[in-house]
Structure 1
């Protein structure tokens, strides 16, 4: 990754039926929210071959339709903590402020039936779930993925699979955290109501 973007080389079939390079260019970053993101390749449905390497239809910018995929690289800025963005220490108020910033066209998140402030982990004011399986690998730096009452600290080489559960993230270090991911669009029947006393 450089200031000029990430190099992406795309192959396909030429008119003569031979495999060929159809594109070799730098992909610029986009920033629909905190931190730079690079959209590498995506589709809203399973693809069929042979094809000429033209980018498939993708609704974007982040979440594919069920059966589709999105390969992306993204960063978390140094010391990124959603809880510090809202100017209040009230967890319920922070969650409300976070939800008010969501654009459903760019970030189609699921409605959460649980009461505001039910989560206890630092960074939980940005908990959200999407109809997707997010397969993420830490490339450099460290990131902390936040569940309702659990933290998962990722170091370079670690993978995390987010199976449509409410999650958020932090970066506790003074350098960017860089991750690569494949987001797979999925069907989701909705976030279940949390039962704090249920253990089975």
Structure 2
């Protein structure tokens, strides 16, 4: 859901060692043509271990999913499964847009099983609004609603919204090393 706005307030430590508000920013969700009705907000993250104190300046990172020892905080709105596709979608252009706005996300998706993917992350997913279904690769499903939390441990899964309204989740992804 493009256009959704959230406020991000970040604390930090001033050069003289005092706690401070380092930034107070409004972030807007970004939509993509390949997934009409979806919205993505990259809130915070880093590609490696962090040290304190910090000035509160946003760490640099360039991919949607973190590497091992990195992390990401994201708000994601998943549209209802009944949302019609973008008419006359140019798939090459849509893929380029997705790679630009959500770098690395598309390469994790299974083209033979839409939405199914696996990442080398441990994800803590909090359902903020709406309802969704997490589907595992063997077909097992679990319904999630507001206030529910899913701990997703690097398994193949897909998000489905077989309901009339979108589902918005807060996801905290911690990069992990995969042993096999």
Same fold (TM over 0.5): yes
**Higher fraction of strand:** 2
Equivalence for 1:68:
70
What's the secondary structure of 2:114's corresponding residue? helix
- Give TM-score scaled by structure 1 length: 0.71
**RMSD, matched Cα:** 2.9
Instruction: Sort the Cα spacing of 1:105 and 1:159 in 2 relative to 1 into closer, same or farther, 3 A.
Output: same
Instruction: Establish whether residue 129 from structure 1 lines up as the match of residue 111 from structure 2.
Output: no
| Aligned counterpart in structure 2 of residue 150 of structure 1, from 140, 144, 150 | 140
Residue in structure 1 matched with residue 7 of structure 2 by the alignment: 7
The unaligned stretches of length 5 or more in structure 1 are: 86-96, 118-123, 191-200
**Does residue 79 of the first structure (1) align with residue 81 of the second (2)?**
yes
Aligned residues between the structures: 164
Identify the residue that residue 179 of structure 1 maps to in structure 2: 169
How far does residue 109 in structure 1 lie from its aligned partner after superposition? 4.9
**Counterpart in 1 of 2:154?**
164
Larger Rg: 1
**TM-score, structure 2 length as denominator?**
0.79
Instruction: Give the CA deviation at 1:3.
Output: 4.0
Say if 1:109 and 1:162 are closer, same or farther in 2 by CA, change over 3 A.
farther
Q: Deviation of residue 66 (structure 1)?
A: 0.7
Unaligned runs of 5+ in 2: 86-90
Residue 36 of structure 1: SS of its match in structure 2? strand
